[in-house]
Structure 1
Amino acid sequence: MSIDYLALALDGVRDLHPYQPGKPIEELERELGISHSIKLASNENPLGPSPKALQAIKDQLSGLALYPDGNGFALKARLAQQHQLGVECITLGNGSNDVLELIGRAYLGPGRAAVFAAHAFAVYPLVTQACGATAKVAKAYPADHPTMPYGHDLDAMRALLDETVRVVFIANPNNPTGTWLPRDAVYSFLREVSPQTLVVVDEAYQEYVQEADYPDCSEWLEAFPNLLVTRTFSKIYGLAGLRIGYALSHPAVADVLNRVRQPFNTSTLAQLAAVAALDDQAHVAASVQLNQAGLLQLSEACQARGLAFIPSVGNFLSIDVGRPAGPVYDALLREGVIVRPIGGYGMPQHLRVTIGTSNDNQRFIDALDRVLARA
């Protein structure tokens, strides 16, 4: 007897399509029989982890037979010190994606809705749909907006709020556009949202932002009990392979999330590496400096070639290649350069390119020249 196990799944799950991460280097080289490829697809830090984090991992290898601290005491204490909050305000996650999923499990479901912007991070609709909730997608600013092309339009998001909305997702900066919202705009939005609606501000790329008017929303937690801020160690801290992130929120919200959190959702190595990474601000500063130089390098290359791009404050640049991006992406793969097409975000002519080392950035530029010349 043949059983349709998809039909047995929950309604929201049946129509889901799995999240597609950036293609690994090993898979590309195995498929095409090439070598010395570079990956500029997943917004990873080209400098890798802090040497202090690597040493912390090495020092703990003999203890891997033991379960991790399920409460993450040392990491929570270090984060509490950094953010000047109580440890009861912190929820640890297997990357910040895990925290987003906890939010969905705790606050979304049939008869409830989530609001997020078009072109926003792909996990928001995945979480919403998987929980059986309704997704209310606000239109973004148009491509020709003078300061924020494809960016979040908070007025459009505000217009979708009603009594069914339990969660609002705001990415600041946003992936894959690299756009950001200034302090006054976010604060005004928070003042107008019902206290019964949780506002999740995803700050995965916060450490890269150099704009003076960019808000650290964790400073507003006391003023807005319905505010939750997510952060990750996958980006500037270079710990993507260990999967560690966290949320900052009112203690009552953190209590709810910890009720659905798995007890050992973060590993011993991830916790210890994260503590060490927080203590190496020189590595963070070097990562910021490299990223700023790389953004300038790619931006100037695009300008010289007449290619439009979205001004970014993250560690990536989304480039309009002036034609369907899929064939350009495929051709770049054959050049040994992995980037990210973002047609799934409603941007079929854009490629998102992670900022790498100067040499890697130049290799992408040269490969793109060859691909576009052939096209």
Structure 2
Amino acid sequence: MQPTQSTKSNLSPLVPAYDSILALAPYQTGKPIEELTREYGVSDVVKLASNENPMGCSPHVTLAVTEQLGQLARYPDGNGHYLKQALADFNDVTVDQITLGNGSDDLLDILARSFAGASDAIVYSQYAFIVYPMLAKMQGATGIEVPAQRFGHDLKAMSQAVQDNPNTKIVFIANPNNPTGTQLEHNVLREFMDSVPSSVLVVLDEAYIEYSPESNNRALLDEFDNVVIVRTFSKAYGLAGLRVGYALSSVAVADLLNRIRQPFNVSRVGLAAAAAALRDQDFIEKTRQINDEQMRWLEKQFDALGLGFIKSHANFIMVEIEVEMEDTTATVIYEALLEQGVIVRPLAVYGLHNWLRITVGLAEDNLRLIDTLHSILTED
């Protein structure tokens, strides 16, 4: 017997597995150039919002992508053999210590789904990557935000939070941190690992490691089985549009992650492009050199404009908009920049209402930013 219309209307609506999902807000990406063009009619746009590499990618990547165009009807290698072998050689690990992902966000999601449930807790820092608390809500887990110290991770306080919450399963640490650009010292991280129970997984999110090679904590993998290092090809390697990331871990953890991940989570084109990008370390060295030069130039310009900033170890810088003008907030400045074709990132969602995160661009991009910012701040 088919239910009548009135019976159908009385059926219980579908509900999410966890109430915390209802508290989730969709992740806000940096405004795309195409969207700004539609909204403001601006054609000459400079995007400094999403920490992309303004140099693009290695020319070797373009060739590798071209070679794959005739094979788009074929599934990729589900195991990513050649890319994993290249990553194993590059990072001095074994192939079975690597998990590939559709960008590093995919890997963070796989880690949360593999290790945290509704009765567990996930610890992260205030002003750290906003995806961490989102993952806790997705899993129905308890998210524990530890107050930041000088806009960075307070590892002693985070260690105490783990001790105070024995149901903690995962600790997320971004190093360098996004959006603040702060960096943790090796000895501080190692002391933290010594203080954390081996049953707690510590995830080091090193999305910006290429801009700060001194923050490489690969050595921790040799001492601690509960460390996972997550990296991406989206930033310095310039493959944000292809979505390729990887995790380094113990063999046991990698085995679990590879059971959870989707079988073809990295495309054929992505696999080839990432392998080609990894081979061209000269491109990465040039990227880092230009970023460092332009970062120093921007710091001088912000000083001249009387704007505060946090010293950054990545390819972006967090700038404080606190000037003595009525109704002049970071959001107002952000909107004014948009109107003139310059896209940056407001940080109100992090509770940083007076701050903007600005990607370091090429010299001409940065000059455009500073000239536009100067004209906005000096308007009568």
Fold match (TM-score > 0.5): yes
Q: What do you get for the CA RMSD once the two structures are aligned? A: 1.4
Is 2:337 aligned against 1:332? yes
Identity of aligned residues (%): 47
- Counterpart of 2:204 in structure 1 is 201
- Counterpart of 1:319 in structure 2 is 319
Distance 1:270 1:33, change over 3 A: same
Q: TM-score, normalised by structure 1?
A: 0.95
Q: How does 1:116-135 map to 2 (within 5 A)?
A: 116-135=124-143
Q: Is the 8 A contact 1:7 1:14 kept in 2?
A: no
Alignment match of 1:168 (pick from 168, 171, 176): 171
| Alpha-carbon separation, structure 2, partners of 1:154 and 1:319 | 24
- Counterpart of 1:242 in structure 2 is 242
Tell me whether 187-196 or 317-326 shows the greater mean CA deviation.
317-326
Secondary structure at 1:221's aligned position in 2? helix
Q: Is the 8 A contact 1:178 1:313 kept in 2?
A: yes
Shift of 1:9: 5.3
Is 2:307 aligned against 1:307? yes
Tell me whether 112-121 or 289-298 shows the greater mean CA deviation.
289-298
Shift of 1:91: 0.4
AA paired with 2:136? T
Structure 2, unpaired ranges of 5+: 1-8, 323-327
- Counterpart of 1:91 in structure 2 is 99
Secondary structure at 1:229's aligned position in 2? strand
Q: Is the 8 A contact 2:176 2:215 kept in 1?
A: no
Shift of 1:324: 2.2
Distance 1:331 1:60, change over 3 A: same
| Alpha-carbon separation, structure 1, partners of 2:182 and 2:81 | 34
Secondary structure at 2:161's aligned position in 1? coil
- Counterpart of 2:277 in structure 1 is 277
| Alpha-carbon separation, structure 2, partners of 1:255 and 1:68 | 20
- Counterpart of 2:352 in structure 1 is 347
Q: Is the 8 A contact 1:195 1:226 kept in 2?
A: yes
Structure 1, unpaired ranges of 5+: 142-148
AA paired with 1:64? L
Q: Is the 8 A contact 1:104 1:128 kept in 2?
A: yes
| Alpha-carbon separation, structure 2, partners of 1:356 and 1:241 | 18
Is 2:371 aligned against 1:366? yes
AA paired with 1:362? L
Shift of 1:345: 1.0
- Counterpart of 1:104 in structure 2 is 112
Secondary structure at 1:159's aligned position in 2? helix
Tell me whether 365-374 or 183-192 shows the greater mean CA deviation.
365-374
Provide, for residues 105-143 of structure 1, a one-character-per-residue CA deviation record: whole Å limited to 9, x for no partner.
Answer: 0111111001100000011011111000001111001xx
| Alpha-carbon separation, structure 1, partners of 2:130 and 2:12 | 27
Provide, for residues 311-356 of structure 1, a one-character-per-residue CA deviation record: whole Å limited to 9, x for no partner.
Answer: 0010001100115211110010001000000111121100000000
| Alpha-carbon separation, structure 2, partners of 1:374 and 1:9 | 51
Provide, for residues 122-172 of structure 1, a one-character-per-residue CA deviation record: whole Å limited to 9, x for no partner.
Answer: 11011111000001111001xxxxxxx311111111110132000000000
Distance 1:2 1:15, change over 3 A: farther
| Alpha-carbon separation, structure 2, partners of 1:33 and 1:304 | 31
Secondary structure at 1:35's aligned position in 2? coil
Shift of 1:374: 2.6
AA paired with 2:39? E
Distance 1:313 1:8, change over 3 A: closer
Is 2:158 aligned against 1:157? yes
Q: How does 1:31-70 map to 2 (within 5 A)?
A: 31-70=39-78
Q: Is the 8 A contact 1:170 1:200 kept in 2?
A: yes
Shift of 1:10: 3.2
Is 2:79 aligned against 1:71? yes
Secondary structure at 1:178's aligned position in 2? coil
Is 2:198 aligned against 1:190? no
* Aligned residue-pair number: 365
Q: Which has the larger radius of gyration?
A: 2
Distance 1:274 1:156, change over 3 A: same
Alignment match of 1:178 (pick from 165, 181, 196): 181
Provide, for residues 80-122 of structure 1, a one-character-per-residue CA deviation record: whole Å limited to 9, x for no partner.
Answer: 0011111110000000000000011011111100110000001
Secondary structure at 1:240's aligned position in 2? coil
| Alpha-carbon separation, structure 2, partners of 1:332 and 1:196 | 47
Q: How does 1:220-239 map to 2 (within 5 A)?
A: 220-239=220-239
| Alpha-carbon separation, structure 2, partners of 1:190 and 1:220 | 9
